[in-house]
Chains A and B, each alone.
Chain A
């Protein structure tokens, strides 16, 4: 009996129709190297449903005009669509007000925005920025650059061998010089869901704001910024079934109001003379230049699509896949799982004894199985576990148990090649 069939089949939820969902994603119909595509690289970027693709086409075919300036019909339509997108994101994150939603190119730009505005205004020599050992490079480097400029210090909350943050150490590291905390909601390399709701009050007790990097959380968990009480929350559209090039920064209104602008240009101003410029109100103050209007239309469609399936149902389905994959892949000979936190989202990172992840990636690809191999833009995480790289399979709403079985079969093929 194969490991794949050794696990009892358990229905996820009666209403969840994964086959129906798969038909909504055109790319899943294609073949790779003569095999059905098994796309397990969702933590890098997710695939897009037809409704998202259609929304982008519809925008360019019927609505395109520059926003917030024209009095003509199309400009009004485009502006309404853009601001409707903002409201959709507001509800998705449960933000108190739509003006607290700033469109960016992605999570990376959102974090850079906070570092370069709030960070620059509040950090001085000897001050500290506190991040964690499992951050993506995009929540390390912007702070490192800022610390270098200001003579400030970047401090790091350590984690245990399972990939869970050491909360006692976190509390100790929150000091009188800490000016901001940057924290991944879900780790991209390990899948750990960090207890951000428990961590934020400790920072607030010392008057320190918290930025949550939600790039990996937004596709998998219901996001409620009021419940979390975070000060900033960043996410990327392309990881949650939306287009590339569009992302979001949520910020509490009082903080955003007091922050200096990020980039200068059109749309972020109220009036300009050569002597002085008066800045626009939030969120426009942070949206210089013509934004990605088609991207917002696509992101809006992506959120509507997720809502139509039900975010809680998606989470339950993915949790089932992760449990199944942990059992099936984890029991293959020579496999060592990297990231075994009690609370995890749908990321399975692992190494295979004696075979380098890069070789595994090539062999899996020949079987039509797309996984990520490498350091996942989290080199400090690799160092923590004393490995150069991992193989990462990451699941989305359209993946199936059969695809986990296909991954297991392809990994047996790796064993054959390297026998």
Chain B
């Protein structure tokens, strides 16, 4: 039986209450908006790209604890990374929260706290919304992305 504490870990609750990089960076030159029509979660991810490198990142919006904490911790994990590195982290993170593979748990560092999401399949979209939005911002897509 899935345990609530596996999903709502302290780190997640703490990030949801005090999200990091909750701002539009001054030098922001890319952005994308993500929306989950099922629960109404809505985030904008801002990037300051320096060539292929994410020099700064921020986000704003509203959503559940899982989606907000995921967005917050995502910004910390990809800041200073290249586009390819960020994509790679997302792939590993996606495998983790969908329960596809836990083999990269160690590589994911702090993001491993989201491993409990795999026991709650309806919450996978919450954990990945910000990441999908980041991907859209990296690819320079103008359209609002949606989980549906």
Chain A residues close to B by CB (< 8 Å): 33-34, 354-359, 362-363, 366, 373-375, 382, 388-389, 417-418
- Are A388 and B62 in contact, with the CB atoms below 8 A? yes
Further pairs besides A366-B4, A374-B38, A388-B42: 18, Cβ < 8 Å: A33-B1, A355-B65, A356-B39, A358-B41, A358-B66, A359-B66, A362-B120, A362-B123, A363-B4, A366-B2, A374-B39, A374-B40, A375-B40, A388-B39, A388-B41, A389-B39, A389-B40, A417-B8
Shortest CB-to-CB span from B66 to chain A, Å, is 7
> Which listed residue (A356, A366, A373, A375) contacts B63, Cβ 8 A?
A356
Tell me if B13 is interfacial: C-beta within 8 Å of chain A: yes
Tell me if B124 is interfacial: C-beta within 8 Å of chain A: no
A418 and B39 in contact (CB under 8 A), knowing A33-B1, A358-B126, A363-B4?
A: no
Residues of A contacting B: mostly? mixed
Residues of B contacting A: mostly? mixed
Which 4 A-B pairs have CB atoms at the shortest separation, nearest pair first?
Answer: A388-B40, A356-B64, A358-B64, A358-B39
B122: A residues at CB distance < 8 A:
362
Tell me if B96 is interfacial: C-beta within 8 Å of chain A: no
A363 and B2 CA atoms in complex are apart in Å by 11
Shortest CB-to-CB span from B124 to chain A, Å, is 12
Shortest CB-to-CB span from B146 to chain A, Å, is 14
B120: A residues at CB distance < 8 A:
362
Shortest CB-to-CB span from A230 to chain B, Å, is 32
Tell me if B7 is interfacial: C-beta within 8 Å of chain A: yes
Count of chain B residues with a beta carbon within 8 Å of a chain A beta carbon: 21
A363 and B122 CA atoms in complex are apart in Å by 13
A194 and B52 CA atoms in complex are apart in Å by 57
Shortest CB-to-CB span from A170 to chain B, Å, is 28
A214 and B39 CA atoms in complex are apart in Å by 25
Q: Mark B126-139, 1 if CB is under 8 A from A, else 0.
A: 10000000000000
A358: B residues at CB distance < 8 A:
39, 41, 63-64, 66, 123, 126
A355: B residues at CB distance < 8 A:
65
- Are A359 and B65 in contact, with the CB atoms below 8 A? yes
Shortest CB-to-CB span from A357 to chain B, Å, is 7
- Are B65 and A418 in contact, with the CB atoms below 8 A? yes
A374: B residues at CB distance < 8 A:
38-40
Q: Residue on B with the closest CB to A355?
A: B65
A373: B residues at CB distance < 8 A:
39
B62: A residues at CB distance < 8 A:
388
Tell me the residues in window 31-67 of chain B with beta carbons closer than 8 Å to chain A beta carbons: 38-42, 62-66
B126: A residues at CB distance < 8 A:
358
Tell me the residues in window 91-132 of chain B with beta carbons closer than 8 Å to chain A beta carbons: 120, 122-123, 126
List 27 A–B pairs whose Cβ atoms lie within 8 Å, in order of A's numbering. A33-B1, A355-B65, A356-B64, A356-B65, A357-B39, A358-B39, A358-B64, A358-B66, A359-B65, A359-B66, A362-B120, A363-B4, A363-B8, A366-B4, A373-B39, A374-B40, A375-B40, A382-B40, A388-B39, A388-B40, A388-B41, A388-B42, A389-B40, A417-B4, A417-B13, A418-B13, A418-B65
Q: Mark B65-102, 1 if CB is under 8 A from A, else 0.
A: 11000000000000000000000000000000000000
